[in-house]
């Protein structure tokens, strides 16, 4: 059985292995042992913290195969970004160059450096090991975060965003960054990405062009990847689109990958999930159901095949599922079909 739970101190070795496997462009898991330990410490303290509004909390989850005890994936939520360090994006928009006298009218795309998502809640750090990219594991990693937000809504902002990994090759080379590097920087994409991941962002403000960039002045390769995702990220962005997330022209400043956004009340899983009274019994059925308890530090979520009726007041779970979710008969479980 796959169970999603908050990360614990003894998951450090597993997180380090995931950081190794995630590769270039996965900024939120830098290959830095000290910072990975700090991420775990920060997550543990965030789950333990009592708060009624979003702040600098970071909630890091892991996906555990209960049969082997192996941690096979991770996902996270940042409660509010940009409150301590500036949170940068490029915004893709248009300017019009026109002259009635010359009978000229031309719409031109521009990229403008901005901090428009300051204070938003961010979904991040989603990674699943190769051998486990099947069944409903990816959906569990992603959607269980929405259940957590629903159950602890006061801890999060009304706008939720997700930065999607942009186009880069197997060596970590980004066509968009290559153009920026040539004109404004003297460091390769993996280095710039790593520095951002470890919190050294001051060089962005110091070296990034302050004025809008005309897209038609970029190289053809750079223009072609603006707002496009890495091949490995396609399933993740399709899942988010199905949840109600939209692309509104904001892209990453390094690889130009798209950032998608949604209001909490418009996210499908949050809107559709309902609470049921737990009954312990013979659980059977053919509907894949996302299940989550309502806990904070002891949050647990899984996906199971059940007989599901959203009009019912109770839901029958097997003893094994109830134990995995740390639930007893009469407790409340949140559920929605996957």
Residue 225 has pLDDT above 60, yes or no: yes
> Residue 217: which pLDDT band, with cuts at 50, 70 and 90?
very high
Residue 230 is a catalytic residue: yes
Angle at 322 between CA 321 and CA 327, to 5 degrees: 150
pLDDT of residue 293 exceeding 70: yes
Mean pLDDT of 148-156: 97
Over the stretch 237-257, which tens digit does the pLDDT of each residue have?
999 999 999 999 999 988 899
Which regions of the chain does DSSP assign to beta strands (E)? 2-6, 58-65, 70-78, 89-99, 104-114, 121-128, 159-163, 213-214, 246-251, 258-263, 274-280, 287-292, 301-306, 314-317, 332-337
Domains of the chain by start residue, with CATH: 2-90+114-269 (3.40.630.30), 273-337 (2.40.40.20)
Vertex 38 angle, CA 234 and 74, to 5°: 30
More confident residue, 118 or 189: 118
Helix (H, G, I), strand (E, B) or coil at 77: strand
> Could you tell me the pLDDT band of residue 59, with boundaries at 50, 70 and 90?
very high
- In degrees rounded to 5, what are phi and psi of residue 261? -140, 160
What 3-state class would DSSP assign to 208?
A: coil
Q: What is the reported pLDDT for 76? A: 97
Average pLDDT, the chain: 91
| pLDDT confidence band for 160 (50 / 70 / 90) | very high
Query: Which listed residue (24, 89, 152, 230) is catalytic?
Result: 230
**With 90 as the cut, is the pLDDT of residue 186 above it?**
no
pLDDT the model gives residue 328: 96
pLDDT in tens, 98-145: 988 989 899 999 999 999 999 999 999 999 998 898 999 999 999 999
């Amino acid at each position: 059985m796959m169970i999603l739970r908050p990360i614990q101190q003894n998951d450090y070795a597993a997180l380090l292995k995931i950081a190794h496997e995630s590769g270039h462009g996965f900024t939120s898991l830098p290959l830095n042992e000290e910072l990975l330990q700090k991420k775990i410490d920060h997550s543990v303290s965030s789950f333990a913290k009592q708060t009624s509004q979003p702040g600098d909390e970071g909630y890091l989850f892991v996906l555990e195969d209960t049969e082997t005890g192996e941690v096979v994936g991770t996902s996270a939520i940042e409660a509010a970004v940009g409150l301590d360090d500036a949170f940068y994006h490029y915004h893709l928009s248009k300017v019009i160059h026109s002259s009635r006298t010359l009978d000229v009218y031309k719409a031109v795309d521009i990229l403008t450096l901005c901090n428009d998502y300051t204070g938003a809640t961010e979904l991040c750090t989603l990674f699943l090991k190769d051998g486990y990219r099947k069944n409903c594991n990816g959906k569990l990693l992603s959607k269980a975060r929405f259940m957590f937000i629903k159950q602890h809504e006061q801890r999060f902002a009304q706008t939720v965003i997700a930065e999607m990994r942009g186009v880069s090759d197997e060596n970590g080379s980004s066509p968009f960054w290559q153009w920026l590097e040539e004109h404004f920087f003297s460091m390769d994409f993996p280095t710039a990405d790593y520095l951002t991941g470890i919190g050294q962002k001051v060089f962005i403000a110091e070296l990034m062009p302050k004025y809008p960039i005309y897209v038609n002045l970029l190289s053809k390769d750079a223009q072609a990847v603006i707002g496009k995702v890495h091949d490995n990220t396609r399933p993740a962005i399709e899942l988010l689109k199905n949840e109600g997330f939209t692309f509104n022209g904001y892209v990453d400043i390094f690889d130009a990958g798209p950032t998608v956004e949604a209001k909490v009340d418009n996210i499908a899983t949050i809107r559709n999930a309902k609470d049921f009274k737990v009954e312990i019994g013979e659980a059977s059925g053919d509907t894949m159901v996302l299940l989550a308890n309502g806990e904070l530090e002891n949050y647990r979520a899984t996906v199971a095949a059940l007989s599901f009726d959203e009009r019912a007041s109770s839901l029958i779970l097997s003893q094994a599922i109830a134990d995995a979710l740390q639930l007893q008969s009469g407790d409340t479980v949140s559920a929605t079909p996957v």
